[in-house]
Structure 1
């Protein structure tokens, strides 16, 4: 029944509703964390992922922390561009002609420290872009054979720069800081983000597409760790403090985008309210054809969350002398959450489809930033 409802909901999102004009960007350069990582962390050697990751679309793990495609994959599809290859990916001679992806799971906006999950902070990703651009321009000056695999020189000024980062700064801080301390930290986080954006602008970037952070309190991992006291949960069963922190971060991020529009001449800065889309999905999951808003699809433990941090998705661990395995569910389209942290492909498609309506962005899509075509599912 859930599958039927889900497919029916997709039919309601018609190309006419989304428009059939696509962006005219020759390339996309993406910066982010696991929400948009298309293989960066795995290519770095920091982590490997095993089946059932990738099972829904790719048939095998694809470097994505999902059962299939991510939001960025659907957005690339909507722009009629190929999926982005990770900057660190080398095996298979990937093409970077239409851009590349610097995102890496676990990264933060603030510089990494010895306890960070990933060394590829936002500043490092910016540095990687600068190196990438320098190498590309050098190749273009002397090697015509490589032109089909790398961006053209003007792609750096005409391309779209996408950002989905900041979630790990907030989520990680909740393990050691109070809510007030986290609120005081947000301006520092956003100053680092602003510094990175201005470096890209100085390099000729003009088109910026910035996702805010989602409802952190609705991530299954956070509910399991911080939500043991029911009084800490909101009406959707999400950790209230985490969601307050995310909303405060987003409020200040939105203000930063508004400020930068006035400072960076000829820039096109789009702020995308992913929080509202994801929050609406969690609150009204049945309306959109889902059955489980926070129950993990690939997990262990059963119950309302089906999540145990000791047994990651696809792994077998020994608990109390007994081997147990975190396996995938029978129907991923029934679940919003995939592995306790990340969304399923079905949920990612829903979010991408809502983004493409144009009403969740500031400014809304217009002649300068037109509607996109519906992504293929």
Structure 2
């Protein structure tokens, strides 16, 4: 590309100053349930984390020294997973979430936390922070009304109506013919009242809540110092 984009390429020493953020687990675990049993999904977790560890080591060898690692959220509370795996009410917990998915997410997070602790010993001069996203999101869903939300698991942009407003046949914003009628998966009137946007991703309002909780430092291991949240905001 010549020199046209050269000014956008950071100098080599910038990589050692960067903050490397990872949000891992959702696609790996939730996706595996479509082709594997629960036991197989659980058995695959060490291999997933081994690949992740390899990637972290490669970054470390290239000079990365500050890692901010998010665990995975309550996957069983995503409308997409409830629609596919929660047809039997006995598969759901008290919040209406798929128990198997949340169990797998918890086991994944336990092993991820152990990996982070081990890497702290192997990467002696690195700063590795583990962030408990699962607890933040679980609290948000369980206590949604306390945070100003009205719909804890329904998708804002979807089709099908309550309780989850999600149909895998028609994605957010699409118009299709279903059962002989043309229908559209429209967005809700007020996105600030919904935690979930499209069955998979969170709304901007929910993500704002999650990020504000992250920056308190109380969900981090090690916990943030008093000045750490400001430092991270400046870096981002």
On the 8 A contact 1:356/1:373 being kept in 2, the answer is no
1:321-360 counterparts in 2 under 5 A? 321-360=180-219
Which residue does 2:21 correspond to in 1? Answer: 162
Which residue does 1:370 correspond to in 2? Answer: 228
Separation of aligned partners in 2, 1:287 and 1:277: 14
Shift in Å, 1:372: 2.8
SS at structure 1 position matched to 2:164: coil
Which residue does 1:226 correspond to in 2? Answer: 85
Which residue does 1:217 correspond to in 2? Answer: 76
On the 8 A contact 1:215/1:278 being kept in 2, the answer is yes
Which residue does 2:9 correspond to in 1? Answer: 150
Which residue does 1:277 correspond to in 2? Answer: 136
Shift in Å, 1:321: 2.0
**TM superposition outliers: structure 1 runs of 4+ over 6 Å:** none
Shift in Å, 1:165: 2.2
Shift in Å, 1:150: 2.6
The higher-RCO structure (CA 8 Å, 6+ apart) is 1
1:129-144 counterparts in 2 under 5 A? none
Which residue does 2:125 correspond to in 1? Answer: 266
Separation of aligned partners in 1, 2:168 and 2:41: 24
On the 8 A contact 1:221/1:340 being kept in 2, the answer is yes
On the 8 A contact 2:77/2:98 being kept in 1, the answer is yes
Matched, 1:307 2:166: yes
Shift in Å, 1:164: 1.0
Matched, 1:294 2:153: yes
**Normalization by structure 2: what TM-score?**
0.94
Matched, 1:235 2:98: no
Shift in Å, 1:181: 1.4
SS at structure 1 position matched to 2:67: strand
Separation of aligned partners in 1, 2:81 and 2:229: 35
Which residue does 1:27 correspond to in 2? Answer: none
Q: What do residues 88-140 of structure 1 show as CA deviations (whole Å, max 9, x unaligned)?
A: xxxxxxxxxxxxxxxxxxxxxxxxxxxxxxxxxxxxxxxxxxxxxxx9xxx8x
On the 8 A contact 2:25/2:105 being kept in 1, the answer is no
Change (3 A) 1:363 1:374: closer
On the 8 A contact 2:159/2:185 being kept in 1, the answer is yes
Separation of aligned partners in 1, 2:51 and 2:142: 33
SS at structure 1 position matched to 2:228: coil
1:12-161 counterparts in 2 under 5 A? 146-147=6-7, 149-161=8-20
> Which structure features the higher share of helix residues?
2
**Normalization by structure 1: what TM-score?**
0.59
Q: What do residues 125-182 of structure 1 show as CA deviations (whole Å, max 9, x unaligned)?
A: xxxxxxxxxx9xxx8xxx59833x2323211111111111221111011122222211
Specify every segment of 5 or more residues in structure 2 that has no aligned partner in the other structure, as ranges: none
Which residue does 2:60 correspond to in 1? Answer: 201
Change (3 A) 1:203 1:232: same
> Which structure features the higher share of strand residues?
2
